[in-house]
Amino acid sequence: MSQLQTTLAKSASLEGTSLHTGEKVTLTITPAAENSGFQFRRVDLPDKPFISADVDKVKAVERATTLAEGSVKVHTVEHVLSALVGMGVDNAVIEMDANEPPIGDGSAKPFVDLIKQAGIVEQSETRKVYEIREAIHVETKTGSLLTIVPDNKFRVSVTQVGPDGKFTQFFSSEVTPEIYEKEIASARTFTFYEDVKPLLEKGLIKGGSIENALVIKDDKIMSKEALRFENEMARHKALDLIGDLMLSGKKIMGHVICVKPGHGANTQLAKVVKKDYASMVQMLPPVKIPKGEGVLDINDILKILPHRYPFLLVDRVIDFDGDNKCTGIKNVTMNEPYFPGHFPGHPVMPGVLQLEAMAQVASVVLLRKDGNQGKIGYFMSAKTVKFRRPVLPGDTLFIEAELLSFKRNIASASCRCIVNGEVVSSGELMFAIVE
């Protein structure tokens, strides 16, 4: 899959019946700018207000996911969001002239067909994917268990469990546009007759029928057509999960493992993902990698530091914040001279070399100060050193150093190394500056 963000090539519309009101509705998907994500727009209301696909906007999760901004609401958003995510779209506006999308056949297939009709185009910005590095877990009072564990793909594994264990089904798959369209999108929503009978009697789901849902009554599945998959219910749970999880605002790289998922549990998980991502962003260095030359390129660094290959552990310096703070970069490759001998079957960057990289970046801060040019910074000691995560080949190491004190020829600095926004090591270092 491309690393660039995508949107729709053109607008496309779909007409149908809404589930709850039974009224006609037209849904139009339109292109959107980079980094805008997904937004719903109620074109039937004055000023045509927008509602972001954001878990903070979730107002109800009974039988569907409802978003609200003030008095403006959008019901049953999960199927169209699932289709957009599953088909690899990053940015889109979903316009509707009613308060919910057309139910179609109860699956996401009508929306997949609509996306294919509109076409998908790449944009100029890089796609942002939240790589899960530490397990995330949600457990609800109703018995739902949802966990995300690290994985190099986006995967879902769903166990659907009905009342008294009836209709227990399992589905597990990587999620790519090809797999989503073939294995997930056409799975229809389902419900147990006992749960919807009171709603039917009150006329609250006027658009519902066995044409757009699997209705289970007395251990039998009532449907106008045969099951599309033996485990169609579990696949539809995966479909809902993909849509609900996107309310976190981030596509993820990880394996989502669920038992008895539902809209309430799904949106709880989305809240945790959004919170964890926000916490991670706060640890990011306040810099952007320059597209041109860095603040100091390798030739500048060679003029400041005495180190040479294979012990020079700073490729460039990308930011100075005043006179006392500095951020450097080390691109860790499989060609590092220490990998053949340091856990060769599972190569990781030695912690002591991460510490040395911190010391070298701190030395850049020290040796740029007036009167220190041409001197050498000797690493004397380290305290409060912590190694939190392994650094692997292919990682980009952001190395931060902040000078805490400098008296006579003795200095101390607070340092940390960051990979993918997560602190992997840190410590407080002491130096002696000598001729």
Using CA atoms, how far apart are residues 245 and 268, in angstroms rounded to an integer?
9
Instruction: Give me 182's structure tokens.
Output: 């073939």
Using CA atoms, how far apart are residues 226 and 105, in angstroms rounded to an integer?
13
Using CA atoms, how far apart are residues 339 and 344, in angstroms rounded to an integer?
6
Cβ atoms of 428 and 384 within 8 Å: the answer is yes
- Beta strands 376-387 and 12-17, pairing class: unpaired
Instruction: Give me 177's structure tokens.
Output: 């546009």
Candidate list 20, 79, 255, 263, residue with the active-site label: 263
**Residues 211, 212, 214, 217, Cα dihedral to 10°:** -60
Those residues with Cβ within 8 angstroms of residue 243's Cβ, 6 or more apart along the chain or in another chain = 65, 77, 78, 79, 80, 81, 82, 83, 85, 108
Chain CA centroid to CA 189, Å: 25
Candidate list 75, 236, 342, 346, residue with the active-site label: 342
Active site residue 236: no
Active site residue 263: yes
Cβ atoms of 377 and 433 within 8 Å: the answer is yes
What's the N-to-C CA distance of the chain in angstroms? 53
Q: Which residues are catalytic?
A: 263, 342
